[in-house]
Structure 1
Amino acid sequence: MDFQGSLFEAPAVEAPTFDRVERRPLTGGAWIDVCRTWLPAPDEVFTTLVHDVPWRAERRQMYDREVDVPRLLHTYAAGEPLPHPTLARARGALSAHYRPELGEPFVTAGCCYYRDGRDSVAWHGDTIGRGRTHDTMVAIVSLGDPRRLALRPRAGGSSISVEMGHGDLLVMGGSCQRTWEHAVPKVAHAGPRVSVQFRPLNVF
């Protein structure tokens, strides 16, 4: 039986939109934006990231000994092609939407692979580079099993947390990298998760 090929062509993937973004002001001029199920076709993107990103394990000095970093890492520098076209469209959409506030595009993509609940990242701010002295933005796209992103003010006070699900977007803006810290705590049980962090130039 003959069929028209167009009946079986994959539908065009739409660009992410921002009509459901919710902004939450924090203290000290910081804020976060959250948009649920923001990234189109997250299953396909997640599978590609797990299998095609050249993940590396790192070790870091902690006090008097060297320890394994509890997650796998890879960074796509400015100008390097991203592993899936949906991520390129997502970065372009983020740059277009936030440029009036940010004043520049997102150019790098840092990737973290949390293999299970034992993988984590400790409290920190992205303060290497311009984030130490200037307002900036870091946009995080979460893929895979849900994990909690915790945030707390550096000067002390109540912490907050956002559970990031499959395809969710969270943007940290304003003074967030200088005046707040964030972390992904260990949990007893969790499946694989990939976090993609889009940043402007010279923000780490």
Structure 2
Amino acid sequence: MTAPFQGSLLDLCEEAGPGPLGSTVRRTVLAHGAWVDVRPGWIAGADALFDRLMQVVPWRAERRHMYDRIVDVPRLLKFYDQGEELPDPLLRQAKEALDAHYAAELGEPFRTAGLCLYRDGHDSVAWHGDRIGRGGSEDTMVAIISIGTPRGLLLRPRGGGTTLRHDLGHGDLLVMGGSCQRTWEHAIPKSTRVTGPRISIQFRPRGVR
């Protein structure tokens, strides 16, 4: 069962869609050649988008090997591969805006979209980097749009170190770039305080998972 979602009073607007990027993006340079960009409230109409995606995305549960047993993945998932139609026109607009802003730095467009539904504070994702494929050997980018109830996204250097926290929801954008997937890890921990659901939309280049 998914907990009810409490929308943001700040999201009551007439014009839905991605806002400007450019100088509105705040970059934090990390160690080892990594960086993180943050743009709060980038998606106007994020709460309505959340409601639409809850209804139209064919969410599915997965099970995976972990150590010596099969466990349930603590979130629901849907992956949209290159060439597959995205579930909402606003996501196409967001991808086009990200491609335009990051084209010179990334050198290629974003190709895939992975959607995760965190139903409540019990759902989570453990420490990891997107190192399957090219992300394990090349600098790349992962752009994350968060809609729904804010959750804490944690970042730390691979192998341990000071942990950084970004509370993301209601249309916030976070982009991890440079060596971030190889030299840093990120996680969404479980929370006893969060009760509402959150959807994470992750845009990635070709061959990065």
| 74-83 or 134-143: bigger deviation | 74-83
Find out whether 1:185 has 2:185 as its counterpart.
Answer: no
Larger radius of gyration: 1
Query: Which aligned segments of 4 or more residues in structure 1 are displaced greater than 6 angstroms?
Result: none
Note the residue ranges of structure 1 that are not aligned, 5 or more in a row.
Answer: 1-9
CA distance in 2, matches of 1:119, 1:11: 32
Write out per-residue CA displacement over residues 116-147 of structure 1, whole angstroms, 9 at most, x where no aligned residue. Answer: 00000000000001000000000000000000
Residue equivalent to 1:79: 83
- Aligned match of 2:155: 151
Q: Work out the percentage of aligned pairs sharing the same amino acid.
A: 60
Secondary structure of 1:150's counterpart equals strand
Which of 45, 52, 56 is the equivalent residue of 2:49? 45
Letter in 2 for 1:67: V
* Aligned AA (1:56): R
Pick aligned residue for 1:88 from 82, 88, 92? 92
Unaligned runs of 5+ in 2: 1-12
2:200 to 171, 191, 195: 195
- State the Cα RMSD in Å: 1.3
Counterpart of 2:146?
142
Which residue in 2 is equivalent to 1:118? 122
Question: Under a length normalisation based on structure 2, what TM-score does the superposition of the two structures give?
Answer: 0.90
Deviation at 1:41, TM superposition (A): 1.1
| Separation of aligned partners in 1, 2:15 and 2:143 | 24
TM-aligned CA deviation for residue 48 of structure 1: 1.1
